[in-house]
Amino acid sequence: MIKLLFNVIFAAALLTTAERCSWEDIFGTTGNGYEEEEEVDTSTYNYSFTCAVGRTYTVPIPNRLSASCKANWEYYARTYGCNDADNFARANQLKSQCP
């Protein structure tokens, strides 16, 4: 009997509180309870280059990069895209400086 009375009082208190409070008010979180992750820019731009043999290629480069890193990625794409084997080491070195 006491257990039943306790459950009724608890249920009434819970319903009253639920009408006035939201999930965030009670638990301080939203959604799945995990902290929201920072969104990363996944957009790209198309970098086009023409090799010495006259063939043109287009490669996507991430927009999130700094100007110097974009230049490094472009150099890497051009070097490998045109099979400029003499500059592979330099291209790898420059690209490794960037995320």
- Encode pLDDT of 46-67 as tens digits: 999 999 999 999 999 999 999 9
- Cα–Cα separations (whole angstroms), residue 71 to 2, 52, 80, 97: 75, 19, 14, 11
Look at residue 26 in the predicted model and tell me its pLDDT.
Answer: 61
Per-domain residue ranges of the chain: 44-96
> What are the tens digits of pLDDT across the range 20-31?
666 566 666 655
Q: Which residues of 26-36 are buried (b: 16+ CB within 10 A; e: fewer)?
A: eeeeeeeeeee
